[in-house]
Structure 1
Amino acid sequence: MADINIQRKKSSPSPWLLVLLVLIGLVAVGYYIFRTDTDQPVETARPIPSVEPAPDSTTGAETAPRPTNDPAVSDMATEEPGASPDELAAFAASGTTAPDYGRRGLEMLSATLLPLADRDDLRDATVNEKRDDLTSATSRLQEQNSSLRPGYVAAAALLKALQQKGYPALEADAGELTTRAEALSGRASTPQDQEQIRDFLTRAAQLLRTISQPAR
């Protein structure tokens, strides 16, 4: 009877083992790729050079005067030139119908007085004080409803100080002018107000004609 050769059937590998091997391979490949990327030097962004402006012939130089907000400079730019006693007298006689007659007359009177207060033979501590009082009293003439009386009183006080400095013969006239200044209402809205201002300005112009001449 013939012998039958019986061979054992080889067992096939488990599918889970194949899946595990594939996963290990993927992990290894991924690790290699990640490590290769991190080993490469990272380039930093280069700073962009600043572009220098082209040289200009006007750079660093003032081509025009700068504007200023300084009130003192603005006042100097708009300050009216000095008037003369004759101009003041002419305005006093002919400008009574102007709506700003009182204000304009006070401005002309101040413009005539202030240069005299700076004259070497008339300037002293009292004159300087009265000059500052007049400047302060007339600094707000442009404001609506501002009273004219403080300005006229200050102008009369400055005129009296100038008279006392070198014109003793005008003492009575200067005192009369001070009295008339204190009697003003501070307005020029009625014919009576305008007449009082006209009389004051006329008398002031007469005094200024003499004070404008060198003291003897």
Structure 2
Amino acid sequence: MADINIQRKKSSPSPWLLVLLVLIVLAVVGYFLFRSDTAEPVEQAPAATTSAAPVAADSAAEAETAPPLADGDAAAVADMAAAEGPVTADELATFATAETDSPDYGRRGLQMLTASLSSLADRDDLRGDATVAERRNDLTSAISRSSEPNASLRPGFVAVAGLLQAIQQKGYPDLEKPVAELGEQARSLSGRTTPADQPALQAFFTKAAGILQTLDEPAP
């Protein structure tokens, strides 16, 4: 009788063991991926900080350079007034009626008024007055912008009326009404210099010249 070779059947590995191995591998891979993701923002943080620094520096530079620009504007206005020379009330009145056809009529008249008022504000009886000095600074600030492209002249006219009012209140009670009317005229001006604006500009310059004629003499 032949011998029958009986071999014991090998047991297959448990499927749970395979699942456990797969989970371990995934956990290891996920750990390294998580570490690499969290490390990147730490490396980029210094770059973001350094890029913000120039912006703050530029803002600080603009703040530091602003005062010199204002001083330059004031110096330019002073130079303009000096170049213009003393402008009398009669000269302004003549200009108001004789130069209406000038294409730069409004700006030229405003420059003449600024020169005249700058000289007037330096008079001994007005130089130390705080209100006059403040209104003169307002005029300086307004006139310094009048030469910019497409700039409105209206702030300059309003500042002229404000300075005249400050001088009038120093001892010219008879000029209270004319100066108040000049202020209303200034506020109603468009600030442009078109032919349609010439009549209103002429009326303003003529009235300002009449007020300056009275202000030529110190207050009684």
TM-score computed with the length of structure 2 as normaliser: 0.63
Segments of 5+ residues of structure 1 without an aligned counterpart are: 1-69
Q: Secondary structure at the match of 1:201?
A: helix
How far did 1:114 drift? 1.0
Aligned to 1:5: none
- C-alpha change, 1:195 and 1:128, in structure 2 (3 Å) is same
The structure that has the greater radius of gyration is 1
State yes or no: 1:84 paired with 2:88. yes
Q: Give runs of aligned pairs for residues 199-210 of structure 1, distance below 5 A.
A: 199-210=203-214
Q: Deviations over 1:73-132 (max 9, x none)?
A: 666555421211111000000111111100000000111111111212123111000000
**Aligned-partner Cα distance in 2 for 1:146–1:99:** 15
**Aligned-partner Cα distance in 2 for 1:99–1:155:** 21
Amino acid at match of 2:200: Q
Q: Secondary structure at the match of 2:144?
A: coil
Pairing partner for 1:211 from 195, 200, 215: 215
How far did 1:140 drift? 2.0
Q: Is the Cα contact below 8 Å between 1:122 and 1:166 reproduced in 2?
A: no
Q: Give runs of aligned pairs for residues 162-181 of structure 1, distance below 5 A.
A: 162-181=167-186
Aligned to 1:48: none
- C-alpha change, 1:199 and 1:155, in structure 2 (3 Å) is same
Q: Give runs of aligned pairs for residues 91-110 of structure 1, distance below 5 A.
A: 91-110=95-114
Runs ≥4 residues deviating over 3 A: 70-79
Q: Is the Cα contact below 8 Å between 1:130 and 1:154 reproduced in 2?
A: yes
Amino acid at match of 2:198: Q
Q: RMSD across aligned C-alpha pairs, in angstroms?
A: 1.7
State yes or no: 1:160 paired with 2:160. no
TM-score computed with the length of structure 1 as normaliser: 0.64
Pairing partner for 1:197 from 194, 197, 201: 201
**Aligned-partner Cα distance in 2 for 1:160–1:75:** 21
How many aligned residue pairs are there? 146
Q: Secondary structure at the match of 1:166?
A: coil
Q: Is the Cα contact below 8 Å between 2:87 and 2:116 reproduced in 1?
A: yes
Amino acid at match of 2:209: A
Q: Tell me which protein shows more helix as a share of its residues.
A: 2
Aligned to 1:138: 143
How far did 1:211 drift? 0.5
**Aligned-partner Cα distance in 1 for 2:184–2:76:** 35
**Aligned-partner Cα distance in 2 for 1:207–1:75:** 23
**Aligned-partner Cα distance in 1 for 2:170–2:125:** 8
How far did 1:141 drift? 2.0
Pairing partner for 2:131 from 126, 130, 133: 126
Q: Is the Cα contact below 8 Å between 1:83 and 1:111 reproduced in 2?
A: yes
- C-alpha change, 1:189 and 1:120, in structure 2 (3 Å) is same
Segments of 5+ residues of structure 2 without an aligned counterpart are: 1-70
